[in-house]
Amino acid sequence: MVMIHGGLFTIGSISVDEYDGRMLAAYGDVVVVTIQYRLGIFGFLDLDSERIPGNMGLFDQAMALKWIHDNIRYFGGNPNSITLFGTSAGSISIGFHMFASQAKHLFTRAILQSGSPMLLKDAFSRGESVAEKFAEIIGCYDKGNQTTIYEDTEPIIDCIDQTPFEQIYKAQDEIVQDNPVPFMPTIPSEYIDNIIADYNESIKIWQKQILMGFNLNEGALMLHLSYPKLYTRHDVPKHRLLKQVQNSVVRMGVDSGLKESTASAMANLLIRSDHEEDNPIVWARKVADLFSDVMFVCPTYQFVDKLLSYNTTTYLYLFAQRSKNSKWGEWMQVTHHDEINFIMGHPLRYPLLYNDDDRNVSSIMIKTWTHFARTGYVFIFFQLSLYSL
Domain extents in the chain: 2-218+297-388
Q: Higher-confidence residue: 376 or 381?
A: 376
385 has pLDDT over 70:
no
Among 176, 119, 121, 125, smallest CA distance to 292 is for: 119
Band (pLDDT 50/70/90 cuts) for residue 384 is very low
Band (pLDDT 50/70/90 cuts) for residue 145 is low
Band (pLDDT 50/70/90 cuts) for residue 381 is low
Rounded alpha-carbon distances, angstroms, from residue 108 to 2, 54, 191, 305, 313: 11, 26, 20, 20, 13
For 217-248, write each residue's pLDDT tens digit. 999 999 999 899 999 999 998 888 888 889 98
**What does the pLDDT read at residue 202?**
77
Please identify which of the residues 5, 239, 336, 346 carries the catalytic annotation. 336
Inter-helix orientation angle 89-97/56-71, to 10°: 70
Average pLDDT over residues 105-110: 97
Among 232, 123, 121, smallest CA distance to 182 is for: 123
Among 111, 63, 65, smallest CA distance to 87 is for: 111
Q: Cα(334)–Cα(321) distance, rounded to whole angstroms?
A: 7
Is residue 336 among the annotated active site residues? yes
Give the global pTM. Answer: 0.93
Q: Cα(71)–Cα(78) distance, rounded to whole angstroms?
A: 9
Give the contacts of 277 (CB within 8 A, at least 6 positions apart).
240, 241, 242
**What does the pLDDT read at residue 157?**
95
Tell the CATH superfamily of the 2-218+297-388 domain.
Alpha/Beta hydrolase fold, catalytic domain (3.40.50.1820)
Residue 314 bridge partners (DSSP): 210
Quote the DSSP letter at residue 19: G
Please identify which of the residues 5, 69, 91, 218 carries the catalytic annotation. 218
Among 321, 330, 322, 253, smallest CA distance to 287 is for: 253
Q: Which residues of 197-229 are buried (b: 16+ CB within 10 A; e: fewer)?
A: eebeeeeebebebbbbbbbbbbbbbbbbebbee
Among 257, 243, 247, 372, smallest CA distance to 315 is for: 372
Is residue 88 among the annotated active site residues? yes
pLDDT cut 90: percent of the chain above it: 71
**What does the pLDDT read at residue 334?**
97
Inter-helix orientation angle 154-161/127-137, to 10°: 50
Band (pLDDT 50/70/90 cuts) for residue 262 is confident
Please identify which of the residues 5, 69, 88, 189 carries the catalytic annotation. 88
pLDDT cut 70: percent of the chain above it: 97
Is residue 81 among the annotated active site residues? no
For 56-93, write each residue's pLDDT tens digit. 999 999 999 999 999 999 999 999 999 999 999 999 99
For 164-181, write each residue's pLDDT tens digit. 999 999 999 999 887 778
Q: Which residues of 147-163 are buried (b: 16+ CB within 10 A; e: fewer)?
A: eebbeebeebbeebeee
Q: By the 8 A CB rule, do 266 and 253 touch? A: yes
